[in-house]
């Protein structure tokens, strides 16, 4: 028992010794709520040069639909307007009285208004904010001015934007989804999709002053707003000004923007992706994925990977020179967290580096000792030692506190949480996260056999594809003629008519290519999912195995191309009609020969929908007359030509067919 107590004291002493010289800057943050539930964050720093103020409103594009998409952005512009201030605009007015920078930003979940102010004028401008946000005096002329300015900012909708949007939407809907670690491995729920941007461009021209004021009244109320003031100011004086100006505003509401849920869960399977490097540069990401259910877990993982990156940097670059650098990186989305080591290397070194880092990480995370933990904590404390006194740094401090309170429901500050980390917690966190099932690997690799091999392989396969298609089509055409045991040449032809517009062939080829690619995409998806158990299996293959997938994809695509060419889109495409004294030839994807003794009658007839499946040839003016060829067997063929009546007369004369009685 005494040993346990002694160890605990040592741990506390170690942590205290690491952090004892660090001032907890978060303790300077004053967070409070006014009587009307408006939140305020104050952070005074007498070493700062000026003052920065941000008003956050919990309203953004997320609450909008197709009918009002863009209203939050227009309202943000209108907040700056007021008939009672010079130039009718707070932006210019505030700059005249001491603001350095004034702007507004409409985001998905909130709208921010930012004011950077000379410190001696900060109190004057903060006094004006209640009138700016809660006592509007705006006119239709203000609306027209801001509408025009906003249209300049966002651009004007073009007639073809909806077409491109719908094409993109259709393509995204019918093609298989590409790998997404947050969706595939963390099972994050899908957030709603915003309307296309061109809708906002169109809506901006239609919004009325009534629409803007309705939106303003619904979302701009104190309980839905947060004021942040950082910089060089007298804390008590600023607090009194804010309370005096804002606390008596008795505007109530309930409408707000809610953040998406933090509903990430782990898949229980390791994650691996291999991609061909787009710029012939090898890059690797090796680490672990985890759920950020506590801020302490994030601090432990970040401190460990930061220190580990420094150790590997010394090993792989300073000693061997086999990398340009080893760094740590962090990816995060709604609680889904990925901590990785990022490294590079020339081709000869990259594979060795990859294996070395994978093995080193796996071994080190399981056998971490107290000395390593102490050093990692000592290094990580630089994040708190290096906090400066500029506005960005001060905002970052407040932002950390906002994140902890809003999303983590944590009342402690990051410094205090970090200061409470024990060695046992550190080891337990690494053990829980550092399981094989949580591993994350993503590699961009340049080549296996020779440089630019991926480009060469694709070019060779593309060339082989065209050669195979041309060879197959020519062979198919010859076989079609040999099957009918008829040989004819141009000297034999008495009549020749084009049956199809060349544009239709181009359109047909486009659809053949498109749907053969689509079918190949889904074929690969189903094979990967139901045979290999992972719909993204093709993306997990190492080089050169990935080339096997490319080659199989080429073969499958070739099969689908031939199928869609002959059986679907160009099955009834016939380029021309040739005729000699013995019969009629329809020449296209294959050749059809109609001997004259099989023909019962020839007759020009009107086009109709019921003849579609029996018609050979395609023209833009599809409603024009057709040539009806009635055979003695009872079969009827319809041929599309520019002038069916003239073609009827010419064929009857050449074939010596009597007019139908």
Q: Are residues 65 and 145 in the same domain?
A: yes
Instruction: Answer yes or no: do 369 and 471 share one domain.
Output: no
pLDDT score, position 486: 63
Q: 589 pLDDT band (50/70/90 cuts)?
A: confident
User: What token pair was written down for 324?
Assistant: 């340009």
> Residue 173, SS3?
helix
Q: Is residue 15 part of a domain?
A: no
Q: What is the domain-level CATH number for residue 395? A: 3.30.830.10
User: 624 or 332, which is more confident?
Assistant: 332
Segment among 18-22, 140-144, 407-411, 573-577 with least mean pLDDT: 18-22
How many percent of the chain have pLDDT more than 90? 69
Residues 357 and 235 in one domain: no
CA–CA gap between residue 424 and residue 432 (Å, rounded): 12
Domain range holding 469? 453-483+501-569
- In tens, the pLDDT along 178-203 reads 899 999 999 999 999 999 999 999 99
Angle separating helix axes 71-79 and 140-154, nearest 10 degrees: 120
Q: Is 367 a domain residue? A: yes
Q: Quick check: is 171 in a domain?
A: yes
Q: Do 426 and 341 lie in a common domain?
A: yes
Based on the domain organization, do 399 and 461 belong to the same domain? no
4 occurs within a structural domain: no
* Last-in-domain residue among 515, 542, 569: 569
501-513: per-residue pLDDT in tens?
A: 888 888 888 999 9
DSSP 30-45: EEEE-TT--EEEEEE-
- Answer whether 287's CB lies under 8 Å from 341's CB: yes
Q: Is residue 26 part of a domain?
A: no
When pLDDT is averaged across residues 340-368 and rounded to a whole number, the result is 92
In this structure, are 406 and 311 located in the same domain? yes
263 DSSP assignment: -
**Global pTM?**
0.84
**Are both 55 and 196 inside the same structural domain?**
yes
Distance, in Å, from the CA atom of 378 to the CA atom of 376, rounded to the nearest integer, reads 5
Quote the mean pLDDT of the chain.
90
259 part of a folded domain: no
612 within domain boundaries: yes
Please give the tally of structural domains in the chain: 4
Say if strands 574-580 and 495-498 run parallel, antiparallel, or are unpaired: antiparallel
The residue out of 569, 604, 621 marking a domain boundary is: 569
- Residue that terminates a domain, selected from 569, 588, 621: 569
| Predicted local confidence at residue 33, as pLDDT | 97
Domain identity same for 420 and 519: no
The band of 569, judged by pLDDT with boundaries at 50, 70 and 90, is confident
Same domain, 41 and 161: yes
Instruction: Please report which confidence band the pLDDT of residue 550 belongs to, taking 50, 70 and 90 as the band edges.
Output: confident
402 and 276 within one domain: yes
Q: Are residues 565 and 578 in the same domain?
A: no
Alpha-carbon span 241 to 117, nearest angstrom: 16
- pLDDT tens profile 18-74: 545 578 999 999 999 999 999 999 999 999 999 999 999 999 999 999 999 999 999
Q: What pLDDT shows up at residue 278?
A: 76
Q: Tell me, yes or no, whether 520 and 578 share the same domain.
A: no
Distances (CA, A) of 574 to 15, 397, 451, 565: 83, 72, 45, 12
The pLDDT-based confidence of 1 (bands split at 50, 70, 90) is: very low
What percent of the chain stands above pLDDT 70?
94
Evaluate if residue 614 carries a pLDDT over 90.
no
Short-list 643, 625, 511, 483, CA closest to 573: 511
Contacts of 189 (CB under 8 A, 6+ apart): 260, 261, 263
């Amino acid at each position: 028992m005494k040993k346990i107590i002694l160890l605990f004291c040592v741990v506390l002493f170690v942590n205290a010794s690491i952090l004892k010289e660090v001032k907890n800057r978060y303790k300077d943050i004053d967070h409070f709520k006014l009587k009307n539930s408006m939140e305020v964050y104050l952070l005074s720093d007498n070493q700062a040069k000026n003052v920065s103020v941000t008003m956050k409103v919990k309203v953004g594009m997320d609450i909008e639909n197709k009918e009002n998409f863009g209203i939050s952005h227009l309202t943000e512009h209108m907040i700056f307007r007021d008939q009672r201030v010079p130039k009718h605009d707070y932006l210019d007015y505030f700059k005249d009285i001491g603001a350095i920078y004034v702007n507004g930003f409409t985001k998905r979940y909130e709208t921010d208004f930012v004011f950077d102010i000379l410190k001696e004028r900060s109190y004057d401008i903060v006094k004006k904010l209640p009138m700016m946000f809660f006592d509007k005096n705006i006119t239709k002329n203000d609306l027209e001015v801001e509408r025009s300015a906003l249209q300049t900012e966002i651009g004007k909708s073009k007639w073809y934007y909806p077409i491109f949007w719908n094409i993109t939407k259709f393509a995204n809907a019918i093609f298989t989804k590409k790998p997404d670690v947050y969706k595939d491995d963390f099972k994050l729920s899908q957030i709603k999709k915003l309307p296309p941007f061109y809708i906002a461009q169109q809506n901006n021209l239609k919004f009325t002053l009534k629409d803007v004021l309705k939106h303003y009244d619904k979302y701009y109320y104190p309980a839905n707003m947060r004021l942040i003031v950082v910089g060089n100011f007298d804390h008590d004086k600023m607090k009194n000004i804010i309370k005096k100006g804002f606390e008596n505003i008795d505007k109530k509401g309930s409408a707000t923007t809610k953040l998406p849920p933090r509903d990430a869960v782990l898949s229980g399977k390791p994650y691996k992706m291999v991609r061909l490097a787009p710029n012939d540069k090898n890059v690797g990401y090796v680490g672990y994925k985890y759920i950020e259910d506590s801020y302490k877990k994030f601090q432990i993982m970040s401190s460990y990977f930061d220190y580990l990156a420094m150790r590997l940097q010394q090993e792989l670059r300073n000693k061997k020179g086999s990398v340009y650098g080893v760094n740590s990186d962090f990816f995060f989305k709604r609680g889904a967290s990925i901590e990785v080591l990022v490294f590079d290397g020339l081709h000869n070194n990259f594979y060795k580096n990859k294996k070395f880092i994978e093995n080193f990480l796996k071994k080190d995370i399981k056998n971490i000792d107290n000395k390593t933990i102490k050093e990692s904590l000592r290094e990580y404390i630089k994040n708190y030692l290096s906090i400066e006194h500029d506005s960005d740094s001060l905002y970052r401090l407040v932002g950390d506190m906002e994140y902890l309170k809003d999303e983590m429901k944590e009342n402690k500050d990051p410094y205090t949480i970090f200061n409470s980390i024990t060695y046992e917690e550190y080891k337990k966190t690494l053990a829980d996260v550092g399981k094989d099932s949580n591993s994350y690997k993503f590699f961009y690799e340049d080549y296996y056999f020779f440089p630019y091999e991926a480009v060469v392989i694709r070019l060779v396969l593309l060339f082989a594809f065209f050669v195979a298609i041309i060879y197959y089509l020519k062979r198919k055409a010859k076989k079609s003629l040999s099957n009918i045991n008829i040989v004819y040449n141009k000297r034999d032809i008495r009549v020749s008519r084009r049956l199809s517009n060349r544009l239709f062939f181009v359109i047909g080829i486009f659809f053949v290519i498109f749907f053969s690619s689509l079918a190949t995409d889904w074929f690969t998806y189903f094979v990967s999912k139901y045979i290999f158990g992972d719909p993204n299996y093709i993306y997990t293959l190492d080089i050169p195995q990935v080339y096997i997938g490319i080659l199989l994809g080429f073969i499958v695509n070739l099969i689908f191309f031939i199928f869609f060419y002959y059986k679907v889109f160009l099955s009834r495409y016939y380029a021309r009609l040739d005729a000699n004294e013995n019969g009629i030839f329809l020449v296209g994807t294959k050749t059809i020969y109609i001997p004259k003794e099989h023909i019962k009658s020839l007759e020009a007839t009107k086009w109709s929908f019921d003849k579609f499946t029996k018609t050979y040839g395609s023209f833009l003016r599809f409603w024009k007359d057709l040539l009806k060829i009635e055979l003695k067997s009872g079969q009827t063929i319809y041929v599309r030509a520019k002038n069916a009546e003239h073609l009827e007369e010419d064929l009857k004369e050449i074939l010596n067919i009597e007019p139908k009685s």
